[in-house]
Amino acid sequence: MKIKAKELEELIEIFKKDYSDLDESLAEIKLTQDKWALKEIIGHLIDSASNNHQRFIRLQLSCDIEFPDYKCDEWLKIRTHRNMKFSDLLNLFICINKLMADIISNIHESSLQNKWHVAWDKNSSFITLEDLITHYISHIKSHLIHFQDRLDEIENGIR
């Protein structure tokens, strides 16, 4: 798991390096109702981390857990990330993911096959801790691409 933790740390550093000077006004732009603003993308990643924090810990304490699923659209409606400063959101994203990397780094191998019982996909009624960690990191990677694509859209629309 140390390799996975290092991968997450590297993603955090890339995000920090690439976006720490992002103009606040760009982060607030919502191109259309169905396209997330940059603040919403990073807010979604913070919400994902806060949900997965609980899962990563609880799956080390029990072989099987039942825990609510994360309904990101509903969370986004309730959480108003666009009201926060982008720099605060970025700092929170960095800090919570440093915590996640530390948790991942210290997970004992014996708990990696512990199961979270959830309708994960149509082929399985659970996901293991190991697969959840892999998914978590892939999720961040996909949203880093999403973030840059959205920023490009915004910048191209302004020119």
54-56-57-58 Cα dihedral, nearest 10 degrees:
80
Residue 45 has pLDDT above 70, yes or no: yes
Q: Which CATH class is domain 2-16+35-158?
A: mainly alpha
Check residue 159 and give its pLDDT: 56
CB-based contacts of 79, cutoff 8 Å, min separation 6: 43, 47
Winning range, highest mean pLDDT, from 59-63, 81-85, 109-113: 109-113
For 96-125, the pLDDT digits (tens) are 999 999 999 999 999 999 998 888 777 888
Where exactly are the structural domains of the chain?
A: 2-16+35-158
Decide: helix, strand or coil at residue 109: helix
For 13-24, the pLDDT digits (tens) are 999 999 999 999
Check residue 157 and give its pLDDT: 81
Question: What's the rounded Cα separation, in Å, for the pair 37 and 30?
Answer: 5
